[in-house]
Structure 1
Amino acid sequence: MALAPGLDPDIAEQVAHVPTDPGCYLWKNAAGEVIYVGKAKNLRARMKQYVMLTDDREKIPLMMQLVAGFDYIVVDNEHEALVLERNLIGQYHPYFNVDYKDDKSYPYIAVTQGDLFPAIKYTREKHRPGTRYFGPYTDARAARETIDTLRKICPICSGTCAEWKRVNRLLAKHSDDADIIGLICAQKGRPCFDYHVGRGPGVCAGMIAPEEYAKSVRRVERFLSGQRRELVGELKEDMAEAAANLDFERAGRIKRRLEVIDGLDDRQQVVFPTSVDIDLIGFYREETIAGACVFVVREGRTVRSCEFILDKGLDVAEEELVSGFVKRYYDETADIPSEVDVAVDLEDAEVIGEWLTAKRGRKCALHRPQRGEKRHLLEMCERNARHALMRYMMRTGYADDRTNQALLQLESALALDEPPMRIECFDISTIHGRFTVASMVVFTNGRPDKSQYRRFKIRTELTEANDFVSMSEVLGRRYAPERMADERFGSRPDLLVVDGGKPQLTAAMNQLEQLGLDIPVCGLAKADEEVFVPWDDTPVVLPSGSASLYLIKQVRDESHRFAITFHRELRDKAMTVSVLDEVEGVGPTRKKAIMRHFGSMKKLRAASVDDIAAVKGVPRAVAQAVYDTLRA
């Protein structure tokens, strides 16, 4: 089996000596930079798929042209390989791995569990030991509002409070004297502002014991994990206890906290009748970019949704995109549900499920819903992912940059005098020479210009499909002098694209030569997405995932769609012609009435003259004519 083009044979020989153990492999370029990290159950077998190009992913040939070396790390099992893979991707951020587009740090809500009096805070910091993180939140305002609301329900210190920091400094100096420090705070401490407005428990003034404070922290963590029913139950018990002890002021405070939770529940959509904890993840992909949306469902309610932009799209397989995002997302969050729903079956779903189960401490599995409420909600996720991606592209001008890049790349690859600002593409559609039509689509400045689209009926009588004759005819009609002078057909194109390989390109060149026109032309073959040019027998291969290849494929596919649509219109119109059209006295209205009355031609053929005459609006003479025609 042949090696990947451009790959050093020494690398293939080195791969042959890689062990067959589980582990991770790191492909490197000539500069020694890691460009891809992967995991494998059998390192040697997996890496051979790359060097022999038996891996059918589109990016592999391009990637292997850049490979100049590799490293590998052996581990004990697939689960360890997955964890190591995620760590290595986070360390090196390889170009060919799926990652966040902007690689920005997303906000989290953190609880500083390592402190005697843990605080809650909004943060974008890297995860630190001794701190529990909830999120990520892609909406920073939503994260801050969640903290504000939560402190109304369970008063807890804020990590930004100066008084909490003062107490922490005292505790750090005298870690063995926590009780004494509590007394000092009670005598000399000054209650912070949060305490006075009911959002702080009074740690700064020694008004709460560590045990009681720890109870509030556990409630905060349960709330952020979506376990609100248990919290509501505890608060109701506390309120009843306070009322029984005639502590009506405390009972009133707890009642107000319960009202805050009720207000939250009113704003959250109930999506499941049962108490389930599920994350649903939907994706929407463009050529080299994708949007992802995560619906976080806890106790049957959607508690939040998060949106992300990824740096890979249609240039990688959907399974690879989904798997890469799932690993990245759950590597950075501690909020793991019992089920993660995605729209595709993942090859490593079992291993990812084991990894998530180990992180969660309880069972977690990946699932692909086929129908029902989960499938409906997953489709809603995909719609939200699409809107998130469109907003990002509008905000950043991503589409304009890609289009400009594509036009410049086409100018260089096809040896044009200038960027092809107007591209015309033609396609033929036929069935064995019948209903033969052609389409002309126009892209102006890299975008479809639908006002310039044209369609043609092929006039040449054909007994079988003949794309060459059809293409010659349509080009002769489009580029005839009278058409070139017709403003309705627009200006002269900067590039002419024909759907097909060398034969279609030759037919186009011959026709343009007969017309005395010098228009740059190329052919795009469907099989290997190769671009054929007149000045070279070897096709031009545009890089996989490049803006230029995406644009020229988009032009070709649009011309094919437009031709197929016209072809179907003609074919469907022809199929509506029936034997009734041959009967004198039967027009469209009577024909419709007859067919509506009988429902099918089979029942009409079995009908008598009286039966046909019973149709409203059909005279007996016409009924007789219909009957005689059907019998004939």
Structure 2
Amino acid sequence: KLVLMLNKRMQEHISKQNFEAAATLRDQLQAIELLSRRQQVTGGFDDWDAISIAISGDNASAQVLYIRNGSLVGRAEFTLNSQNASESEIMGAFLKQYYSDAPVPGEVLLETMPDDPAILEWLRGVAGKVDIIVPSRGRKKELVDMAFRNARSHLKMVLLNDEKKEKSGHGALVELQDMLGLDSLPERVEAFDISNIGGTDAVGSMVVFTNGRPDLRRYRHFNIRTVKGINDPAMMEEVVSRRLKRIGSGEDTVPGLIVVDGGVTQLGAALSAMEQTGIHVPVIGLAKQFEHIYIPYTDAPLILPETSPALKMLKTIRDESHRFAISHHRRRRTSRLRTSVLDTIPGIGKKRKEILLRHFGSLDGIKNAGKDELENVPGISKVIAKTIFSKLHAPKAYKL
């Protein structure tokens, strides 16, 4: 009953991906089984190792049970990369590696024979008298079966843990580190984008992903201060520079990687900001058209397959920075349009202001319209049209 209860609880923890608790229960179950085996196995047997392997795709797990003087005294488990090899090939490679520095018992009990028959001679050359046996019944078969169950259980937890890491973005971060040659895992990634219409209401955005997940509390937006007109690269340089200065002052954490939305030009703007501030952080550009990755001081972009976890993560981060930039730009533009010189003109309320903006498209469009054009707008009388025209063309008129 105790074994059934512990096994049920272990399976529940595995299904909830609570691997630490599951591993604790697994160890308790194996301790009970070891104790049971010690009571069942009597003396008179030589020393054995019982070895089994469980395989799933490119992953495998090997389990070794130690029987000494007739008692089951311990175990060891190993995670292997199967590389699509057969079970006998994996067994052969494991035996060579394991017994290159482990003591060899009198008998090695296996679930399957290794693919290379020369392994037995190699073992005898290392340890003298030794036999490899694939038992078909009795206690030796039970031990091999126990080793297989343990290997299968261990492999299941390894695969679930890998799946959990993949969902959390860990696998993508590892790939990013490898392909960019980073010294450490880019646990914090910051992405920047620019949004404006014809240079007006220009803003920048910064989104932060920590361990592959959005860190909404650390998102920031920037109103462009120093750039006039249409010049997205200069705006990107301003935004990245302001961010780096804040890092340089010790007010915030240095990211593991910076991603800018764009290709060579935007990447160059970020690099210029780093030269100006003297603060250098790994940086790449991700262009929208072909999803090419631009790396500083390289002649050609990096092209990853669409299935790449790293590319999927970078696209997600880039798209999030774009969304955040656009949303802030729209809020700023809406706020500006709601409060304008039109609000100071007698007879122009909310409804007429919306009519004028819809008709002419912008405040500039209204200012450039003649009196006749203003009079032709539905809901605008000659008197109001004349007032609007005079107000917008008066000396020191409101600067649009």
Q: TM-score, normalised by structure 2?
A: 0.48
Asked which structure has the greater RCO (Cα within 8 Å, sep 6+), the reply is 2
TM-score by length of 1: 0.31
